[in-house]
Amino acid sequence: MYGNSQGQVSGNLVKVDWFGQSLPFTSVNGAAEQLKKAAAELAQHPEFKKYMKSAGTFYWRNVRGANRLSAHSYGIAIDLGVDNSDYWLWKYPNAGEEGKIQYYNRFPKEVAHIMEKYGFIWGGGWYHFDTMHFEYRPEILEYAKLSNKQQP
């Protein structure tokens, strides 16, 4: 959907102004437009400013420790506020995928709620938490809404 190679993905990237940074993000499925809308709403909250510095978007690479491409490879992910974020492998460098870990988070959940409104899932909601990470996955959010409606 987003491209089968670094070159194909790169051909779909557009620049998005993100709090003074010019970030490459895919235009496929309206992802860049949704990121712009999220930025506009987040800009209305000066209390979140220290969390808005991006540590990156597009970067062709595998997920750390895995044999699959990262969402960053498709230009659909953004990492924010690294200095105020938590990542499971930083906290538990020897845990491995099967290890038991305890959840940590210093990132405002309100930012995650705003990002979700525009189709971004938050890595802070995962067991293997990555609180700086957001990826454009509106289909997952839509599926979750439908699944919750079907619950008795």
Q: What is the pLDDT of residues 123-141, one digit of tens each?
A: 999 999 999 999 999 987 7
What CA dihedral angle connects 114, 111, 81 and 54, to 10 degrees? Answer: 10
Residue 121 parent element (H or E): strand 120-122
Residue bearing the bigger pLDDT, 144 or 33: 33
Residue bearing the bigger pLDDT, 140 or 71: 71
Is residue 98 within 8 Å of residue 110, measured between CB atoms? no
65 DSSP assignment: T
Q: What is the CA radius of gyration of the chain?
A: 16
Indicate the angle between helix axes 109-117 and 31-42, nearest 10 degrees. 140
Q: How many CB atoms lie within 10 A of CB 79?
A: 21
**The model's pTM:** 0.90
Residue bearing the bigger pLDDT, 18 or 143: 18
